[in-house]
Amino acid sequence: MQVKTFFFGLLCCGTMYAQQAITPEVLNQLSNQGEATPAERALQNAIQSNGINKMALVGNNQQALDTWFSVEVKNTGISNQESSGRCWLFTGTNVLRQRAMKNLGIEGFMFSHVYTFFYDQLEKSNLFLQSIIDTRKLDIDSQQVQWLMQNPVSDGGTYTGVADLVMKYGLVPKDVMAETYVSNSTSEFNSHLKRKLREIAINLRERSEGGQSVKQLEAYKLEQLKVVYKMLVMAYGEPVKEFTWAPKDKNGKLLSEPKRYTPQSFYKEVCAPEEDLNADYVMLMNDPSRPYNKVYEIDMDRHVYDGHNWLYLNLDIDDLAPLAIASLQDSVPMYFSCDVGKQLNRANGLLDLNNYDYADLLGTTFGMTKKQRIQTHDSGSSHAMTLVAVDLNKDGRPTKWKVENSWGPTYGYSGHLIMTDEWFREYMFRVVVNKKYIPENILSLLKQKPIRLPAWDPMFSDEN
C-alpha cells in the first residue's frame, strides 16, 4: 500500500495532472500545447501526404554505395523466395549450394526448395500432432497447449530445421522438382493446413478424454497424416524418390553421363558427406538481454519430432564477429539472421543507422539500447540471409558486411544487402559457424548444460 501511495504521489506532483483515465481535463492539457507554427503545419502536411519513410530519409546519406569488400565469397546467384516465408530454407540451401557448385565444377546451380519444403510441412504437422498427444493431460487453456494451437505449422523456420531435413531427406536439383504457384505464395494453403491440423488436434484430445490409449491415438494420427500428405501433394507435388541427372554448363550442355540418384545419395555426393550439419556447426547469438557465454535451448522449437531443438551459444558481439570473419576469410559463407526491416533503404539495399531520421521528423527521441529493444518486443530476428562478405580496415576491424538475399536479383544491390558495422552490431542476431573457425576457449562453453527457454519466448519466432 505504501508503494502505491508513493507512486500516485509522484504522478500528482508532475507538471501535468495525472490519473488512471484520460478525462476531459487531461485531454485538454494534452491538446492545449499552443498553436502550430507555419513550419510545423507544413511538416504535418508533408508527412500526411508522403508517409514517414519518405520524409525521414536522410538526403546526404544517399551517395553511391561503397561496394568494395576486402573479403568476399564468390557470388553463386540470387534466389527468390517469392511470397513465402521460406528465407531460412533458401539461406540454408544457398550455403550448401556454394559447396555443391564447387564440387560439381559448375555455375548457375539451384537446389529444389519445394522438395525440402514438402517434408518440412509434413514433419511439422507430425511434430504438432504428436505434441498434442504428449500434452493430452494438460488443460486446453494451459500456456503450452495454447501455444501449440496457435502455432500448428508455419512456413518460417531456422537453421536447425535445414540441418535436420537435409540430413534426413537429402536434396534434389531445382530442375528435378520445380516450384509451384502455392510454394511461391504459401499463405492461402497454409491457412487451410492449419485449420485441418487444429481439427485433428481437437479430435485427438477428445479421444484421449474418452479413454483411448497412446497407441490408439498414434494410430489415429497416422491415418490423419495420410490426409495431410495428400493435401501437401495437391499443393506442392509428389516428392521425387529417384531421378536421373547430370551437371550442365552455362549453355545447357551436359558435362558428364547422367546418373541415377536418390535425394540422399545426391546430397552425399555433392555436399561433402563427411560433415554433420548439426554436430559440426554452432549457432551463435548476440542477445544482450541474457547473460553471455551461456548455452540456451528452445523447448519444442524444432522442425522434426525426432530432430534437434534450437540450441545456441550467446556471445558478446566482439567475440562473435571475429568468428564470422574467419569463416569468410576461408571462403565459406554462413547462415545469418537479423532484424532486416530496421533502417533499411529498400531502394539501394543499404542497412545503415543513418538512413532515416525519425527523431527529428517526429520531434522526439528513440533511444533504447539493443537489450531494451529485445526486452520490450521492439526488435528480434525476422529474416535469414547468407553472409558472404566483410570489409576490414587497416587494423583488421570490420567496417561493413554484405549478405546474399533471397528476394530476387533486382532487389537492393543486385540481390544483396550491404550493412554498416554499426548496423550489424545493433540488429544482427544469429550466425551459424563451422566449429573449425571457433577457438577452443569458446567451443568449451558448449559443454555446459543448456538453459531451457519456452517455445513462446518472443526472441525465438521463426525467420521468414
The pLDDT of residue 403 is above 80: yes
pLDDT above 70 as % of the chain: 95
State the amino acid at position 106 in one-letter form: I
State the amino acid at position 347 in one-letter form: A
d(CA 242, CA 259): 10
Q: What is the pLDDT of residues 102-161, one digit of tens each?
A: 889 898 899 999 999 999 999 999 999 999 999 999 999 999 999 999 999 999 999 999
Residue 12 among the catalytic residues: no
For the segment 90-107, the average pLDDT, to the nearest whole number, is 92
The second-level CATH assignment, the architecture, of 277-460 is: Alpha-Beta Complex (3.90)
CB 356 within 8 A of CB 57: yes
Q: Any idea which fold 100-270 has? A: Cathepsin B; Chain A (3.90.70)
Identify the pLDDT of residue 338.
97
Q: What is the pLDDT of residues 405-438, one digit of tens each?
A: 999 999 999 999 999 999 999 999 999 999 999 9
Please report which confidence band the pLDDT of residue 8 belongs to, taking 50, 70 and 90 as the band edges. very low
Q: Could you identify the residue written with the cell 558478446?
A: 316
Identify the pLDDT of residue 62.
85
Domain boundaries along the sequence of the chain: 1-33, 100-270, 277-460
Mean residue pLDDT across the chain: 93
Which entry of 87, 94, 271, 286 is annotated as an active-site residue? 87
Nearest to 88 by CA among 124, 39, 60, 34: 124
Residue 383 among the catalytic residues: yes
Instruction: Note whether 100-270 and 277-460 share their fold.
Output: yes
E strand map for 223-374 = 243-245, 259-261, 281-285, 294-298, 310-314, 334-338, 344-345, 350-351
Which entry of 190, 303, 314, 383 is annotated as an active-site residue? 383
**Count of CB atoms within 10 A of residue 358's CB?**
14
Q: What is the pLDDT of residues 145-193, one digit of tens each?
A: 999 999 999 999 999 999 999 999 999 999 999 999 999 999 999 999 9
Identify the pLDDT of residue 9.
44
Identify the pLDDT of residue 462.
77
Which entry of 80, 405, 416, 464 is annotated as an active-site residue? 405
Identify the pLDDT of residue 282.
97
Identify the pLDDT of residue 463.
81
For the segment 265-280, the average pLDDT, to the nearest whole number, is 88
Given CA atoms 259, 265, 271, 274 in this order, what sign does their dihedral have? negative
CB 457 within 8 A of CB 295: no
Q: What is the pTM of this model?
A: 0.93
Nearest to 142 by CA among 132, 152, 153, 154: 132
**Count of CB atoms within 10 A of residue 199's CB?**
11
SS3 313: strand
Q: What is the pLDDT of residues 202-261, one digit of tens each?
A: 999 999 999 999 999 999 999 999 999 999 999 999 999 999 999 998 888 999 999 999
Range in 242-246, 269-273, 362-366 with the lowest mean pLDDT: 269-273
For the segment 79-99, the average pLDDT, to the nearest whole number, is 95
The pLDDT of residue 17 is above 80: no
Nearest to 153 by CA among 234, 231, 208, 83: 231
For the segment 69-96, the average pLDDT, to the nearest whole number, is 95
Q: Which residues contact 64 (CB under 8 A, 6 or more apart)?
A: none
For the segment 369-387, the average pLDDT, to the nearest whole number, is 95
Q: Which helix (H) or strand (E) holds 226?
A: helix 214-236
Identify the pLDDT of residue 165.
98
Please report which confidence band the pLDDT of residue 3 belongs to, taking 50, 70 and 90 as the band edges. very low
For the segment 331-358, the average pLDDT, to the nearest whole number, is 96
Please report which confidence band the pLDDT of residue 20 belongs to, taking 50, 70 and 90 as the band edges. confident
Residue 405 among the catalytic residues: yes
Q: What are the φ/ψ torsions at residue 39 (nearest 5 degrees)?
A: -65, -40
**Count of CB atoms within 10 A of residue 317's CB?**
15
Q: Could you identify the residue written with the cell 540454408?
A: 92
Q: Cα Rg for the chain, rounded, in angstroms?
A: 25
Identify the pLDDT of residue 348.
94
pLDDT above 90 as % of the chain: 85
The pLDDT of residue 10 is above 80: no
